Structure 1
């Protein structure tokens, strides 16, 4: 199974889930550290969703019905499916494009406050760019692009510290902070490329330390994509851990479906035991036209991740409608405005 990041018309980001063969399993040749027991994690397993598009969709008249066909607050609908946490991405100096922009820190703070008021936990995810960064793209904010490494370190510390202080001023204590998005090849390239491991680690550690300075009790995640590809995961951690990299949780993206879920789960387990940090699946989704497949695969992920003591699973933009963003891996039917059967994957597991 491969997760591809492709550009849709107008630069809109799409995720297309390709149901190819999963990469072979294998053990990472690194020492094993203790992780928390599965039974301890199961009681607090996080079921979440990234709904960062919600404010822009609302501003353009979009709305959501519940499974009975009645228009209802999206937070209320999600909580009815057992969702307890919301993931919010944030960009440095974004455009006003409805799908590829917004998500400035000021907007993210407002949305985080809404989530807290709705009784939901919040994961704040830094892309360290002005728009999408992903496994294939790691562009720095335009304002940072011409900086030296030392200048970028200062910018990183200032940006993360200011962002955390904005959240604190709004009465929001994030439950998790994610420093970077799918950073297999590094961040803010070329300065923080994995080919410059000391600089990559320095930038990420600056973000880690700045988040902890304001919220010392908030766990910080490193986020990698494609756990089916051991080489990519291992290459990153050889560089990051080898240069003193700091993190509390390993966040992983996987959109695997059907028979590809099991080998990905095996790899996730190996990543967790090899690096001694609990795993959280921070992105999941599947074809909107195959809701029962997506439901069953989501159940398999939740059951499997619980089984080895992982922390949780987040569905990526389940509320998205194709007419807004060309996104084809959501969990809502645009015609009826109702959640599809995919959302049932959160129930009774």
Structure 2
């Protein structure tokens, strides 16, 4: 082969390798949960670094975000809720999804299957489902609601690219109900506790998955659990034994939560889960505060413990004050970047921040009280 051809082939190979690398970088999920952008205290108040008022989804896209996460509640106006949690009903989510898609963003839909916040401490059945007498009736309600929401999104040309069946479902799904703002336990006959009513728990997850597969066969299915660096293998074993048809293990990892484990244990879990369960892994939620009421805030103490490596040092790049990880805009970016890099190095497909869309006094937000983007928003442009 002539020397000219050899040089050409070598250059072509380098170009293709570079393209492959960039393609892999672009495929890495740099996600932002933007669920509350239509809540009245946030609506139409977002400004980019150029001080220009813009659609928040445009601001996010311009700063490296490539996926949006949106939660949906059944009826956030339910008067039995402890308070109005926000505006994330079907109408709101349709509006948000269409806007996000118009800017070329991919979209993860987060079903809470509740009228209020769902997490390991509370998984309340929607008020309109309380007349169900059997788990089969509940399962049908869950299937129908999932189908209804996804069909509406399809009709609006805003189908989700990934669908989350439940939110932080460690303790179960549909395990309680609200009455005059008070959470009460649901009968085990229809409750879906992961320990006391395992059959119902699996049945409800399967119903949601079945509806999602039917309406959006192109979408990936996520099951989302908290305590990403903790001892959660028993839950994933349960899904495997039940042969649940899902694609992605979603993990919440908040360094400021003691039970979420160390950042090194998060990386170890990701590697282990990928190998044992053969699923993709995504950090579905992570965050760090930009301010705290005190330098010894409990969240900062927990973050310090979880971000301290086995060599006794704080994860590189994270600022500390007298041995405690501090709360600042700089550290907000540094901590989230550390989680993203740990996840990526362990083989995860990406991450989503949580609470970043809240303005001002919300300590995990990425915008000032006047709606101007914080410098931490630029973290989504990093290589990790």
What TM-score range do you get, normalising by the shorter chain?
0.7 to 0.9
CA distance 1:49–1:130, change in 2 (3 Å): same
Alignment match of 1:114 (pick from 76, 88, 99): 99
Deviations 1:70-124 (CA, angstroms, capped at 9, x unpaired)? 3333122211211011111001122189960321123212211111112211111
| Alignment correspondent of 1:210 | 211
Tell me, in whole angstroms, the C-alpha distance in 2 between the residues paired with 1:331 and 1:75: 13
Within-5 A mapping of 1:123-138: 123-138=108-123
- Contact 2:252 2:284 survives alignment (8 Å): yes
SS in 2 for 1:192: coil
Within-5 A mapping of 1:1-349: 42-57=25-40, 63-95=45-77, 100-147=85-132, 148-189=134-175, 190=188, 191-195=191-195, 196-230=197-231, 233-256=232-255, 260-289=262-291, 290-322=328-360, 327-334=362-369, 337-349=371-383
Per the TM alignment, residue 333 of structure 1 is displaced from its structure 2 partner at its CA by 2.1
Per the TM alignment, residue 320 of structure 1 is displaced from its structure 2 partner at its CA by 0.5
300-309 vs 179-188, greater mean Cα deviation: 300-309
Bigger radius of gyration: 2
Tell me, in whole angstroms, the C-alpha distance in 2 between the residues paired with 1:61 and 1:206: 34
- Contact 2:107 2:162 survives alignment (8 Å): yes
Q: Which runs of 5+ in 1 are unaligned?
A: 1-37
- Contact 2:110 2:163 survives alignment (8 Å): yes
Deviations 1:103-150 (CA, angstroms, capped at 9, x unpaired)? 112321221111111221111110000110002111111122342101
- Contact 2:30 2:65 survives alignment (8 Å): yes
CA distance 1:192–1:117, change in 2 (3 Å): same
SS in 2 for 1:226: coil
Structure-1-length-normalised TM-score: 0.80
Higher relative contact order (CA 8 A, sep 6+): 1
Deviations 1:165-198 (CA, angstroms, capped at 9, x unpaired)? 1111111221000000000111011521112222
CA distance 1:95–1:174, change in 2 (3 Å): same
- Contact 2:64 2:378 survives alignment (8 Å): no
Per the TM alignment, residue 312 of structure 1 is displaced from its structure 2 partner at its CA by 1.2
Tell me, in whole angstroms, the C-alpha distance in 2 between the residues paired with 1:41 and 1:305: 15
- Contact 1:197 1:243 survives alignment (8 Å): no
Tell me, in whole angstroms, the C-alpha distance in 2 between the residues paired with 1:43 and 1:293: 25
Deviations 1:286-317 (CA, angstroms, capped at 9, x unpaired)? 11221211211222222222223211111113
- Contact 2:34 2:68 survives alignment (8 Å): yes
Tell me, in whole angstroms, the C-alpha distance in 1 between the residues paired with 2:43 and 2:360: 14
- Contact 2:146 2:212 survives alignment (8 Å): yes
Equivalent pairs counted in the alignment come to 304
